[in-house]
Amino acid sequence: MKRAIGLATLVAVAGIGFAPTAEADAIAEAKALVAKHAGKKEAWDGPTAGPKAAEGKSIVVLAGDMKNGGILGTTRGVEEAAGVIGWTVRVLDGAGTVSGRTAAFGQALALQPDGIIINGFDTNEQQAGMDEAKKAGIPMVSWHASPTIGPDPERGIFANVSTDAMEVSAAAAQWAFADAGGKPGVVIFTDSTYSIAIAKADRIKEEIERLGGTVLEYVDTPIADTSNRMPTLTTALLQRYGAKWTHSLAINDIYFDFMGPSLAAAGIPGDGAPKAVAAGDGSESAYQRIRGAQFQSVTVAEPLNLQGWQLVDELNRAMQGEDWSGYTSPLHVVTADNIAFDGGDRNIFDPGNGYRDEYAKIWGK
């Protein structure tokens, strides 16, 4: 009696190579998860009702470091929205240092504004200033200043504006895993100065390992000192891992502002490995690198300008005793394939969902 020839035997005889089912399933899963974040954002899913504009208000933006592309982008959005709602804005730059942010907070309090926007630094660092603002009854909203999206009453924040940072981190990890054919060797860059940065990096690590990839190293290096540290750190990592290092995953784009020269000096082409993948923020320089295939393949971008408008809207709600809007803005996986739309031609993720008109209608403008 003839035995049935199994699939495994046929594959072996024919010399056909198949990935193990579990690995193939993990790659397919990662690709599907990335795809849902890579499409056009054309429908408005934010608030459609809220208080009319509070008239004649003066606000202060406390910027953690205006050299950071995410902070710069949201600040521009605040300024644009303030022009529509009819408010005066003063921007104070903390210049990337604790002492600079402390001085800026003191200056903000002296100005006695109607509201404060904390932009891009951990509120725990400036607890004394936060307490003074609360005592003075100054409403505060923030961008990336808390691990929580929305209200954080313990810190005195009416609403912290962000995309879902854990979803951003997972999307970055999923792209790298799929791009490496299920066998990525990853170096993760973060900054333990910020609790949200550690949470994002931990989520990247968790997702890479869940899917079956390898984390070669978890690097804690300050965002404020990337220009000095990243060139030599990049060279050292290349020497340590060589071709095992397939992807760099960082909690934002600024780490990749200073890696290119070291990679080029090692003979690595702009589209070669290790490929850079940023879990936020979608800076102008990141868009330029992706478009030119110059040492960055992906940024999981946030709609920075939209988030600036949301900060103004949330502050308007806070001033008038309303609840926060409940809105979490969309993320966008930006690659060379989709960089042309949703603001990509201007080097930003600016969704084509009509958010400017929607907020203006809420404010009665």
Find, among 106, 113, 103, the residue nearest to 78 by Cα.
113
- Residue 147 pLDDT class (50, 70, 90 cuts): confident
pLDDT in tens, 330-345: 899 999 999 998 999 9
180-189: pLDDT as tens digits: 999 999 999 9
For residues 242-264, give the mean pLDDT: 96
DSSP reduced 3-state for 167:
helix
For 67-93, write each residue's pLDDT tens digit: 888 899 999 999 999 999 999 999 999
* Mean pLDDT along residues 117-142: 94
Given a contact cutoff of 8 angstroms between Cβ atoms, the answer to whether 307 and 119 are in contact is no
What values do phi and psi take at 315, rounded to 5? -65, -35
Mean pLDDT of the chain: 91
Q: CATH assignment of 58-163+304-329, given 3.30.70.20, 3.40.50.2300, 3.90.226.10, 3.40.50.300? A: 3.40.50.2300
What one-character DSSP code corresponds to residue 303? -
Under a CB-based contact definition with an 8 Å cutoff, are residues 353 and 42 in contact?
A: yes
CATH superfamily for domain 30-40+165-301: Response regulator (3.40.50.2300)
Dihedral angle computed from the Cα positions of residues 179, 224, 199 and 74, in that order, rounded to the nearest 10 degrees:
-80
Going from N- to C-terminal start, the domains of the chain cover 30-40+165-301, 58-163+304-329
Task: Determine the pLDDT at residue 60.
Answer: 98
pTM: predicted TM-score of the whole model, two decimal places = 0.82
Rounded CA-CA distance 115/314 in Å is 11
Rounded CA separation 231/246 (Å): 18
pLDDT at 196: 86
More confident residue, 199 or 12: 199
Per-residue pLDDT tens for 282-335? 888 999 999 999 999 999 999 999 999 999 999 999 999 999 999 999 899 999
22 pLDDT band (50/70/90 cuts)?
Answer: confident
**Residue of higher predicted confidence among 148 and 136:** 136
- Write down the pLDDT at residue 365: 94
What's the pLDDT score for residue 17? 39
* Confidence grade of residue 122 (pLDDT, cut at 50, 70, 90): confident
Residue 199's pLDDT is 92
The pLDDT of residue 20 is: 56
pLDDT of 1 reads 35
- What whole-number distance in Å separates Cα of residue 330 and Cα of residue 280? 12
131-151: average pLDDT: 93
